[in-house]
Each structure stands twice: as structure tokens, then as C-alpha cells.
Structure 1
């Protein structure tokens, strides 16, 4: 049975390892953006990377300054990643990833819940063994405004929350402490 297992020097194993590292990078980036965590985000882009979100375009430093700390008008975001189409050519990859993103936005008339859907088009490179983004473009496929946001201060379905950490993640997310706890 062992003769059919891929080993680290096997091209099939290398392809699977590359795909997993690319997937991990994209998931970490979504986590970093939802928490406005500069360290998580920075670990996913090469310093010379560029971005184009249609509503913002620039080099990585400008992007990081735009997304962290983020707008106070956007209290919560959640990026849900779908399937990725990955084409790897040596130390370069092209990746298209489906995304649905929730945003709680207050444009001055109260909080609203909005959703958008689209695709990230990422050019990625492996440098010193790590896969990171060199160029990202966001392509939008749909947008939905769900109207006024529910008031979480009252709890869920008429039942009060026992602590404030049950909602939100942009600032002070409870999962940060959860993963930092090594007991």
C-alpha cells in the first residue's frame, strides 16, 4: 500500500502542497480583513503587490492603510470564500476564488446589512517557499441591500446575550483569544 502514497519529492505531492498553501493564504487573508488585522493581511501579500477593488486601487502599502483600521462606518464584515480555480505554473499561480461578503454599514442613516458577491482574481508567486499574492482584482457579480440592520444590543430573537463578545469581529474578536489560548 505504501508504494502509492505521494512523497515530498513527488510532483503530485508538491502540487497538493502548493494548492493547500494557496488555500490557506486566501483563508488567512479573509480572516485578517474581517478582523482588520494588519499582521494577518501582510502575511498574504508580497510587499510589491498591487490591488484593484474597483472602489480602491493601489500598491500594497496603500491597500493596507485603507483596509486597516477600516471605516468606522463598517462595523462588521464577513468574507465567505467559495471554490477556487487554481492554475499553477512553476512558482506562479493564477487563482479565481468565489466570494460572498457581508457588511454592516452605517452611512449616516442607521446601520444596514448589505451583501455582495463576486470573484477574487489573484496572481500569486512562491518566493522562499511561501505562496503570496502579487496582484489582486475584485470582480463584482451581484449586490443586495437587506435594509436596516437588526439591533444586536437586544440579543437574538428576544433573548439577551450573556456577554458582549457574541457579536462582531472587526475589533476585539473573541476568536483571537480562543486561538491564543494554548492550554
Structure 2
């Protein structure tokens, strides 16, 4: 393959891995998460660090206090070098957290610093560091389980992961 085309393919594979990991974290899916990390990988989130097994047991099933998450990814800057890569990805992560006095909505802005290795044709993370740029407590969480902005939902699947995850059914093609 032309070297320039191969670099584009590699960069896209890395971005897809980062996106798949965020999707896995939001769904607390061990299978999706495992597909993004090499087994001997390490992580350091500043508040928790260790090997991949420690990471997986921290994220799945997740803290009981953290009822919902959503990771919104920004740009991913990638530097490739002979089967390895460094990537910086901007992230906003929303969390609905039970602080003991009711649910609160919080948001963190930061960056993932990932080192990747390509083994065969597959790119996966071997090391991740989380940098925190800001955090915002948005206050008491709104009850959106029955609707948003005063409008009721017209079907049970609209509240997202609060009542299962309709996107899982939607991707299989089984949704009406």
C-alpha cells in the first residue's frame, strides 16, 4: 500500500479505537473495552492507576454512585512511528453522580494521552494518561426519565441508557 494511504488507514484505525473505547465505557461493556487495550496495558487517571485488569474492574461495572456517563470526543492528534503511535484526544465526559444527597450532573474536560502499538493489522492502547483541564458541577440532576424540556417522550426508548440502550437494538437492524 502507498505509505501515505497506509498512514491515513492507521490514523483512522486509532481514532476508531478511541471512539470504540468511549462507547464501551459509556455502556460498561467489558468486550468493547477489551478490544481497545493490549492485555499488558497500563493506565493512570490521576485518581486511579494500574494495569488493564485494574482498569477493567474499575470501569465495569463502574462505581455505583456513577449512574450514567457520556464521553464526547474531540480531535485526535496522532504521531505515527514504525508500528507505534502517540495520540492526544480531547474529551468532555458527563457523569450523573449520586453524591448522597441526590443525583448531580457533572462534566470534566480533559485529554487522553494514549500510546498505541500495532500488532498484525490491529492498533490498541498500551498506555493511557488522563489529563484534566477543567471540571464543572452543573448542580442537581433533572429528571428526564419521562421527557425533556416539558415535553413527554412518545416511546419508551428515548431516555437513552436510563431504560436500556435502544442503540444496541438499532445497530442490529431489529428496531422498527
* Same fold (TM > 0.5): yes
Q: Which residue of 2 aligns with 1:86?
A: 78
1:100-150 deviation line (CA, Å, top 9, x unaligned): 111111121111110110100000000021000000010000000000011
- Superposition CA RMSD, Å: 1.5
| Aligned 8 A contact 2:42 2:128 in 1 | yes
Q: Which runs of 5+ in 1 are unaligned?
A: 1-8
From 54, 61, 68, give the equivalent of 1:62: 54
Structure 1 runs of 4+ aligned residues shifted over 6 Å read none
| Aligned 8 A contact 1:101 1:117 in 2 | yes
Q: Name the CA distance, whole Å, in 1 between partners of 2:132 and 2:94.
A: 13
| Aligned 8 A contact 1:35 1:171 in 2 | no
1:49 positional shift: 0.3
Give the direction of change, closer, same or farther, for the CA distance of 1:46–1:170 in structure 2 (3 Å limit).
farther
Secondary structure of 1:83's match? strand
Structure with greater Cα Rg: 1
Secondary structure of 1:153's match? coil
1:160 and 2:122 are equivalent in the alignment: no
Q: Which runs of 5+ in 2 are unaligned?
A: none
1:137-173 deviation line (CA, Å, top 9, x unaligned): 1000000000001111341122222333222427721
| Aligned 8 A contact 2:156 2:163 in 1 | no
| Aligned 8 A contact 1:104 1:111 in 2 | yes
Alignment of 1:88-107 (within 5 A): 88-107=80-99
Q: Name the CA distance, whole Å, in 2 between partners of 1:41 and 1:146.
A: 28
When the two structures are aligned, how many residues end up with a matched partner? 175
Q: Which residue of 2 aligns with 1:5?
A: none
| Aligned 8 A contact 1:99 1:120 in 2 | yes
Q: Name the CA distance, whole Å, in 1 between partners of 2:99 and 2:10.
A: 41
Q: Which residue of 1 aligns with 2:136?
A: 144
- After TM superposition, the score normalised by the length of structure 2 is 0.94
1:30 and 2:15 are equivalent in the alignment: no
